[in-house]
Structures are given as C-alpha cells and as structure tokens.
Amino acid sequence: MKESKIEISYKVYEDINELPKEDAWLLNEAREVTKQAYAPYSNFYVGAAAKLVNGEIVVGTNQENASYPVGLCAERTLLASASALYPGIAIETMAVSYQSDNGNSNQPIAPCGMCRQYLQEYELRVGKPIKLILAGFEGKVYVVEKASYLLPLGFTSESMK
C-alpha cells in the first residue's frame, strides 16, 4: 500500500486593498451584482463576475426556486452565459462574492461541489485555467490560480475512456 497526499496552494490577502487593481475591480463587480441575485428562501445572495480573454465581462447570480434542486448557483449561471454569448472563449479570471441577510459577509466563499465540477469542465473545454478570486463583502480574499485545484481527483472526460 502506498499513501498519497493532495495539497493546493492559494494566496490570502487581508482585504481587497491588497489585490492588484484589475482583480479588485472584478471583485467589486461581483459584489455589486449580488443585488441581482434571486434568493428569497436562503437570503444568501451570491454574485460572480468574470473577465474573458477577449476583454468582455460576464456576470452571474444565484437563482433560487421553491423546488430547491432546480436552483442555480452564480458560478454556473455565469459559465452558461459565457458559453452562450462567447462560445469557445476562455475565462481569464472569475470573482465570487456574497452577502447574507442572516449574518456577516466577512470571509471568503468557495464554489459548491457541482460548480467545481462545472468549472473544471469549462477549463478543459477551452484549454485555459480560470483564476478564482473568492471573498465576502469585507475581510480576507483568497486567490486560487486554477479553478480545478478545488476539485482534486475530479471526474473528467478522460475518466470515461
């Protein structure tokens, strides 16, 4: 038997003011778009903003539904929009933020498992990693250089061969 270990690295910034200017701008866009989220059940509003390699900006928000399984996360809403509006165009950077009526928004938020799978597939499809900027409305900011780092041992098309 052999034991293996999986580790990821990410950058931790104390707040948005430490980010490079372009990343701070994108995070502010994600924070702003949370106002468009539809979250009447959880009162947890998530916004995502992405800069594509062609310079275009695409946003997404969580969209809840009374039948919980049919809701959509902000990340998947954004990725579906980017795919429809700009087919085959890679995403350079995506920022994700949130605000909640139930408490503070002072720590980074990470994509759920389903979104991690979707992000990984998108990276593979366009052949370019997506840098993620993860934060609340205040406090620390995490930067992950490749979205698929969040899904070690992930299921891919290679798994089906």
Residues annotated as catalytic are 75
Are the C-beta atoms of residues 11 and 133 closer than 8 Å to each other?
no
Contact (Cβ atoms closer than 8 angstroms) between residue 119 and residue 112? no
- How far, CA to CA in Å, does 90 sit from each of 4, 44, 59, 132? 32, 28, 14, 13
User: What is the number of other CB atoms lying within 10 angstroms of the CB of residue 68?
Assistant: 9
Q: Identify each DSSP E strand in 16-123 by its residue range.
A: 44-52, 57-61, 91-100
In angstroms, the CA 156 to CA 120 distance is 8
